[in-house]
Chains A and B, each alone.
Chain A
Amino acid sequence: MITPTHLLRRLRYLLGRTRRTGAVDEEMRFHLDMLTAALVREGLSPAEARARAEREFGSTMRVREEVGDAHGLTWLDDLWRDLRFGARALRRSAGYTTVALLTLALGIGGTVAVFTVVNSALLTPLPFREPDRIMTLWTAMEGGVDRMTVSVPNFRDWKAQSTSFDAMAIYGTGFGTRASIVGGSEPILAAAAQVSDEFFEVFGVPAVIGRAFQRGDGFGTQAPGMVLSHGFWQRAFGGDSAVIGTRLGVGSGRAYTVLGIMGEAFDFPRGTEVWIPMPDIQGAFWARNGINFRVVGRLSPDRAIEATQAELTVIARRLRETYPNREDNHADDITLSPLSTEVTADVQDALLLFQGAVVLVLLIGCANLAGAGLARGVVRQREMAVRAALGAGRRRLIRQLLTEHLLLGLAGGALGIAVALGLVRVFQATAPANLIPFTSLTMDSRAIAIALVLSVLVGLLVGLVPAWLGSRMDLRSSMVAGVGEGPGRAITGWTLVAAEVGLAVVLAVGATLLLQSFRNVLAQDTGVRVEGVLTAQVQLPGQRYRTTADRMPYWNTVLDQARATPGVLAAAAVNLAPLSIAGTAFLDVEGRTEPNEGAGFRLVTDDYFRAVGVRLVEGRSFTPADDAEHLPVTVINQALADREWPGESPLGKRVRSRGFDSQGDQWLTVIGVVNNIRYWSLEAEIRPELFVYYRQRPERLDAMTLVLHTQGSPQAFVPSLRGILHRADPEVPGSFSTLAERRGETVRDRRFIMTLLTGFAVFGLMLAALGIYGVLAYTTASRTREFGIRMALGSRRREVMVLVLRRAGVPVALGLIGGLAGAYGLVGLLRSMVYGLDPHDLRTFMFVVPVLIMAAAVACLIPARRAIRVDPIIALRSD
């Protein structure tokens, strides 16, 4: 079968095979007739001649086969035959086949679904042009802090002095506050990002309608434009392309011309709905030490990362020499990092955890099927024996059984792909936004290939055990009915059980760790009252509220009316609400020269602490007497007091904060200390903060969050508050939430991961229990006779039950020990996701043991009871 023409000839033969079999028969018949005729010529009678000819002729079938072999591709023939036989066998044992297909569909489907997400998030390049050339730049400071945000003047200098970038851009998201867009009847709140002119060039993604920003469009242009996201365009304008060229008012009151709409796939920074140009204004926020923004850049094609990093370090040093004062210029160095790393860092651990867990579930499922295959193999033993007697060698039998299971695997895989498609859709609908990758979730060729490979591997894995055992047998004993058990089968079955138990234990330990971590996180003290607090983010448009005289009355009116509303126990406003974004400002402590890590800066109105349930620990809180004419004061939190003045009272000490504070040079005197409040999330570290009174900083009152402490459910007060806001200024909307909701949001990711992993663990445990049940049922069934004899000889039921359970107990115990050991070795991988406990804490492992024993006990229940219900007479009679 070497030459191609030869192969072609054989294939052609195969195609016309049925025709040719007839032809061979005809050829044989001709020969037979000639032989008969020759015999007649030698003197035999026609009948005798015929008989003799046929006897001498021998088996035509054999000839036909050999002729077929000469022309055909035997292995292809055999494969086809095996497949047909396998399909028939699977159809016959419909029960096993159904369960197997279900298990495989779920197992393979789950694995492929998770892989699709992993593929999208970690293996597929970001949906930008040449994404590996896109870098992020960070401010690095001495002392190990290497990923701080960047200030505008520093960005400008870096950009001017570096020659390694084709494009560099700076952007900010206003710390998550939404801008109100005015264009239609009602103002709409949208997530806005302020970007410099080269922003879209860095990503290399064009607008789908109109255009995005180009060079010259950013930093305080005369006729500023804005770019809309696809989602916002649909949401606010119903996809009407006439919106291009119209002018929309944004937050500060300026009007921007809509330049274009981005495509659906472009979502950077995450969740942005409108992109507006970076303003060119002065002020603390925008100073060289106002590190409030992020920078991205596109490396030139001929530049390497290491060389660029070196260049940036040189630039940073040069700037340090020009601006040596650390309070003015915070950057000691610049950190360069590829965007792809930044994006995947958070998500990587969770996704890999899912992938590992789902593979474990698949393995448990396979072990189950292999065990079921054992029991099924017993039933087919006689059939195998007959085949062997007819001449099938052992290898042939193994091949046959493997082909059958391969067919099963492939069918399961095909179903699995359908299941995976559904699961991916479910994931997209239910997963928290952070876990959904940038690149859209599609099942590409890689996922299909994985499905195929899994199908084949699983089929072979599941088929190997029954194939091996089924082909090895003593012919004679197998053909005698009643013999269904060899010690080989039982041991194999129990080994599978031990393996399943071990894998289930690993999953259970992981799930328990995450469950406990979740509980620990929820138990964290937020420092504020979580129930009964309504929040509303409000942004005053700059055009009409330009001065303090414009702003102050607005807040005072709104707060007075809110306080007057029945059911509202306290009302206040703050610049950054608890359990949300937190910024860090730079802090100077009077009398100290060493730089410190800064503190959070909060601007609050009267009653703030009362509204959110923060306790005063020392000193006093703000009063209306603390206005611009009097001593500038601040209240600090416990963490700041402990850090700066451990062991002594901070009252009377002075601090000031540049970068955030509009009057950053002014020293503030500490008048009180309050307990700590959590920001960002329940898991983040407590940050030191200082609170400043709004009457002393009226110029900062452009965007605040109202907090209302309500009696009863805060949701009920939304309409009243909305009414108050509308009456104060109909063009200023509010974005409503509650502290309880915010707390839920901060744990959303963790909750999802925990739920999913627990789901896997429970499913795995169920499968393992099923496996135990299956093997135990099968082994006890084959020992019915033995139990009958024992009971006839006087064994009590309890003794028989102990026998049964003991047989099961050994592999379960072994699996448990093995699983715990394995889990102990693997939990280190979960370190980043565990909170509030050491992953190697033995208590977790101790918790899993009784759970598993209970599951195993339940699984053993039915077969054990069946064993003791055996009637000895019937058992002895059955054979």
Chain B
Amino acid sequence: MAVSAFDLLQGTLDLLVLRTLFEGEMHGWALAQRIFDRSSSAFQVQQGSLYPALHRLEDQGWVRGSWGISEQGRRARFYALTAAGRRQLVRERANWERYVEAVRSVLRPLEGAAPAR
């Protein structure tokens, strides 16, 4: 398994988890797999960060956890996005866009620009 090349910031992890859960209810393992797949194998979230994040989100009320049966027939904890979580997702997404845009606008002059006097 490829080791994660990037260090995910805690805030970003929250955003990814919320976005992924938007697609539906899933348990922690499935969530980690889905993020791995959708990030083109860039982000491999370790359980050391995943579960604290999930529980933090649950504590904030953005995510709700409940026990259910996995595809293998095992008992597992499933997490679903709440209405408040959906709203938080929108907010965080907007923040992220703004953040990216800001970084991009600072970086832009460097690409292909003439060196400063």
Contacts and interface: CB of A to CB of B under 8 A. Distances in A.
Interface in B5-54: 27-29, 46-48, 51-52
A31 interface: yes
A39 to B, nearest CB: 8
Contacts of B52: 63, 66-67, 69-70
A286 B51 CA distance: 96
With most chain B CB atoms within 10 A of its CB, the pick from A24, A34, A42 is: A34
Contacts of B77: 23, 26-27, 30
B76 A63 contact: no
B61 A9 contact: yes
Interface in A38-67: 42, 56-59, 62-63, 66-67
Given A6-B61, A9-B61, A23-B77, A67 B28 contact: no
Given A23-B77, A63-B52, A58 B46 contact: yes
A800 interface: no
A28 B59 contact: no
Contact of A28 (B46, B51, B70): B51
Contacts of A35: 29
A13 B61 CA distance: 13
A610 interface: no
Given A31-B47, A62-B48, A67 B61 contact: no
A23 B75 CA distance: 11
Which of A28, A31, A62 is packed against the most chain B CB atoms within 10 Å? Answer: A31
Contacts of B98: none
B70 A30 contact: yes
A35 B48 CA distance: 13
A27 B51 contact: yes
A59 to B, nearest CB: 8
A12 to B, nearest CB: 11
A733 B67 CA distance: 94
A24 B47 contact: no
A5 interface: yes
- Indicate the member of A9, A58, A66, A70 with the most B CB atoms within 10 Å: A70
Contacts of A62: 48
Contacts of B29: 30-31, 34-35
Given A23-B77, A35-B29, A28 B55 contact: no
Contact of A33 (B55, B59, B74): B74
A5 B59 CA distance: 10
B87 interface: no
A59 B60 CA distance: 25
A58 B74 contact: no
Contacts of A58: 46-48
Most buried by A among B55, B58, B60, B75: B55
Interface residues of A, number: 27
A10 B59 contact: yes
Contact of B55 (A30, A31, A42, A71): A71
A62 B46 CA distance: 13
A31 B58 CA distance: 18
A27 B76 contact: yes
A63 to B, nearest CB: 6
B91 interface: no
A300 B47 CA distance: 79
Contacts of A66: 48, 51-52, 55
Given A58-B48, A67-B52, A31 B60 contact: no
B49 to A, nearest CB: 9
Nearest to A58: B48
Given A26-B75, A30-B75, A70 B48 contact: no
A527 to B, nearest CB: 87
Contacts of B60: 6
Given A9-B61, A30-B29, A70 B55 contact: yes
B28 A31 contact: yes
Contacts of A23: 67, 77
B61 A63 contact: no
B19 to A, nearest CB: 20
B59 A71 contact: yes
A113 to B, nearest CB: 49
Nearest to A56: B46
A410 to B, nearest CB: 32
Contacts of A67: 51-52, 55
Among A6, A13, A28, A66, the most chain B Cβ lie within 10 Å of the Cβ of: A66
Interface in B60-117: 60-61, 67, 70, 74-77
Given A31-B47, A57-B47, A63-B51, 14 more contacts: A6-B60, A9-B59, A26-B75, A30-B28, A30-B77, A31-B28, A34-B29, A35-B29, A58-B47, A58-B48, A66-B48, A67-B55, A70-B52, A70-B59
* Those 10 A-B pairs whose CB atoms lie nearest each other, nearest first: A66-B52, A34-B29, A70-B55, A70-B56, A67-B55, A27-B77, A30-B76, A71-B59, A31-B47, A70-B59
17 contacts: A5-B61, A6-B60, A6-B61, A9-B61, A24-B51, A27-B28, A30-B74, A30-B75, A31-B28, A31-B51, A56-B46, A58-B47, A63-B47, A66-B51, A70-B52, A70-B55, A71-B58
